[in-house]
Amino acid sequence: MENLALSSYLDANKDRILATLLEWLRVPSISADPAHAPDVRASAELCASYLRAGGFERVEILGTGTPEDRGAPAVYAEWLGAGPGAPTVLIYGHHDVQPVDPLEQWTSPPFQPVVSGDRVFARGASDDKGQVLMQIEAARGMLSTRGALPVNLKFLVEGEEESGSPHFEHLLESQKARFSADVVVSSDSTMEAPEIPTTTVGCRGLVAFDIELRTAPVDLHSGIWGGTVPNAALYAARLAAALHDEHWRVAVPGFYDDVRELSANEAAALAALPFDEQKFCRQAGVKFLVGEEGRTPRERTSTRPTAEVVGIHAGYGGPAMKTIVPATANLKVAMRLVPDQQPAKVAEAFRLWLESQLPAGVERTVTLHGGVLPMVTPLGHPALKCLSRAMEKVWGVAPLYQRSGGSGPEEALARVLEAPVVSLGIALPEDRFHAPNEALSLPQLWRGILAAGELLVEMASLGAKQ
C-alpha cells in the first residue's frame, strides 16, 4: 500500500472522526420535511466546517433553486493545488437524510446516534453522512500528512438527494464551469459484503406517472347506483392489474423496444456477482419473488426495466365500511429504465396504452414525474480501472461490478459535467438505507478512508481535460 501515511493518520484520528460523525448525525436534516429546513441548513454548515478544517480553500454553502422555488443548500469546496496539469476530481455526496417513519421500529432514537460494537446506529449513518465524511477525512489525512493532494479536488455535497434532487441539475447547469472535473466520484452506494467489494457502474432511469381518474362528480350510493355506474376504483385497479402480462413483462406496447441487451463483458460482470435467494428474501422480508420471466433477480433489479405500482388510492379507506361507488381514483406508477430507453418515449407509450385501456367516459389526467435517463459507465473506462485498483489495494481483491437499480443524480453529473462517474460506496446491504435502525460499519468506514486516499493517488495518472 502506497498510502501508509494515511493509515497512521487514521490510527491517530479515529476517535476524533467518530466524534465528528456523531455530531453530524445529531442534526435531523430531513429534506422532505419543510419543518426541518433549518436542520438541513445546520447540516450544510457543519459539512462546510468539516471541509474547512480539512484544509479546503474555497468552502461555500450554495443556495439552490430559484427565488420562486427555493431548494435546500448544497456545500461546495475545492483544493486546486495540484495545478492545471493534474486532473480534477469532483466528489459527490449528500448531507440530507430520509424521513424516520415508522419511528416506533427504531431501537434507539434516529438522531441520537448509538455506537454498538463496531456499528453506528442513526439516520444518515451510511446514507450518506458517513460516506461523505469518509471522503473528507481521506483528503484531510493526505493534506495533513503529505501537505498536498495528487489531484485537484472538488466537493459537491447536495442537500436534497432524499427528495429526488429537484434542483440539482439546475445547480450543475448554472455553475457548470465551477464544478468542471475530469472524473466524478460518487460516495452514495453500497457494496455486496465486507469481503466482497463491489462498485456501482450504472443506475437506472426513471419515469413515473400520477394518474387521476374520475367517473362521477361525487361518490355515489352503492344501494342506489351500484351495479350500473362506472366505479373509478375499479378502473384504477384494472389499469394496475393490466400493467404486466402473465410472464411479468410490462404490457405497455413498445416498452422494451429500446432496451439494449448487455454486452458479453457486462453479462459476465453481472453473473460474477453472488446471489443467495434465501438471503435476498430474508433481507427484503418477502416470502417469494416475482418478476420478468427468463431473467434472474439480479437482472430484474438492475439491468432490466420495470414498472411498479407505487400507490393506488380510491374510495373509502377508514375503519369499517361505507356503501359507496368511488367517483375518483389515484394511481401512481413508477418505471425504472435501462439503456437505451428514453423517458419521453416510454411516457408516450404509456399514455397510448392508458388510452387503450380506459373507456371514453372515464376522465383521466396523467402527470409525469421523473424523466431521469439511465446511465452506465463503460467497464473499460480508465477511471473505473483507477477505482478498481484503489479498492483492490485495501480489500485485497478487485471489486465486482454491479449496477444500481435506483436512479440517482449520477446521471445528471455525467451528462452535465461530461465526465465519467465512478462510485466508491462502502455501505452494506444490512446498513438499512431508508429504513429504521440505519447503521454504518466502522471497519468499512476506516477501509473506505484508505480507499478514498488510494483512489486520489490512482487518479493522478488520468490526464487533465484540454
242 counts as binding a second copy under rule CB under 8 A: yes
Q: Which residue, 371, 379, 310, 309, is CA-closest to 341?
A: 371
Query: What minimum distance in Å lies between the beta carbon of 174 and a second copy?
Result: 23
221 counts as binding a second copy under rule CB under 8 A: yes
Between 229 and 397, CB nearer to a second copy: 229
220 counts as binding a second copy under rule CB under 8 A: yes
With b for 16 or more beta-carbon neighbours within 10 A and e for fewer, the 188-212 pattern comes to: bbbbbeeeebbbbbbbbbbbbbbbe
Looking at residues 86 to 145 of the shown chain, list those that interact with a second copy (rule: CB under 8 A).
102, 105
Coil, helix or strand for 22? helix
Binding mask 260-299 for a second copy (x = CB under 8 A): ------------------------xxxxxxxxx----x--
Between 59 and 329, CB nearer to a second copy: 329
H or E segment to which residue 89 belongs: strand 88-94
Between 335 and 417, CB nearer to a second copy: 335
Report whether 133 contacts 24 (CB < 8 A).
Answer: yes
Select from 3-11, 173-181, 193-201, 209-217 the region that touches a second copy (CB under 8 A). 209-217
Query: What minimum distance in Å lies between the beta carbon of 324 and a second copy?
Result: 6
138's CB contacts (< 8 A; 6+ apart) are: 6, 448, 449, 450, 451, 452, 453, 456
Coil, helix or strand for 276? coil
Query: What minimum distance in Å lies between the beta carbon of 409 and a second copy?
Result: 13
Select from 151-159, 358-366, 385-393, 448-456 the region that touches a second copy (CB under 8 A). 358-366
Query: What minimum distance in Å lies between the beta carbon of 436 and a second copy?
Result: 8
324 counts as binding a second copy under rule CB under 8 A: yes
Number of residues in contact with a second copy, rule: CB under 8 A? 86
Binding mask 363-382 for a second copy (x = CB under 8 A): ------xx------------
217 counts as binding a second copy under rule CB under 8 A: yes
H or E segment to which residue 157 belongs: strand 152-158
Selected binder of a second copy within 34, 264, 360, 466 (CB under 8 A): 360
Report whether 42 contacts 137 (CB < 8 A).
Answer: no
Q: Which three cell numbers stand for residue 211?
A: 394518474
91's CB contacts (< 8 A; 6+ apart) are: 135, 153, 154, 155, 156, 184, 185, 186, 187
80 counts as binding a second copy under rule CB under 8 A: no
117 conformational bin, left if phi > 0, alpha if psi -120 to 50, beta if neither: left
Selected binder of a second copy within 193, 241, 267, 344 (CB under 8 A): 241
Query: What minimum distance in Å lies between the beta carbon of 285 and a second copy?
Result: 4
Report whether 28 contacts 35 (CB < 8 A).
Answer: no
Looking at residues 301 to 320 of the shown chain, list those that interact with a second copy (rule: CB under 8 A).
301, 304, 306, 308-317, 320
Query: What minimum distance in Å lies between the beta carbon of 47 and a second copy?
Result: 24
Q: If you ran DSSP here, which 8-state letter would residue 105 be given?
A: G
Looking at residues 386 to 405 of the shown chain, list those that interact with a second copy (rule: CB under 8 A).
404-405
d(CA 73, CA 157): 9
d(CA 195, CA 441): 13
229 counts as binding a second copy under rule CB under 8 A: yes
d(CA 323, CA 466): 71
359 counts as binding a second copy under rule CB under 8 A: yes
Between 122 and 243, CB nearer to a second copy: 243
Q: Which three cell numbers stand for residue 183?
A: 472524473
Between 274 and 311, CB nearer to a second copy: 311
Selected binder of a second copy within 119, 336, 393, 447 (CB under 8 A): 336
Selected binder of a second copy within 330, 345, 389, 392 (CB under 8 A): 330
Selected binder of a second copy within 223, 378, 443, 463 (CB under 8 A): 223
Looking at residues 159 to 188 of the shown chain, list those that interact with a second copy (rule: CB under 8 A).
164
Query: What minimum distance in Å lies between the beta carbon of 357 and a second copy?
Result: 11
Coil, helix or strand for 411? helix
Report strand pairing: 74-79 vs 152-158: antiparallel
68's CB contacts (< 8 A; 6+ apart) are: none
Binding mask 185-204 for a second copy (x = CB under 8 A): ------------------xx
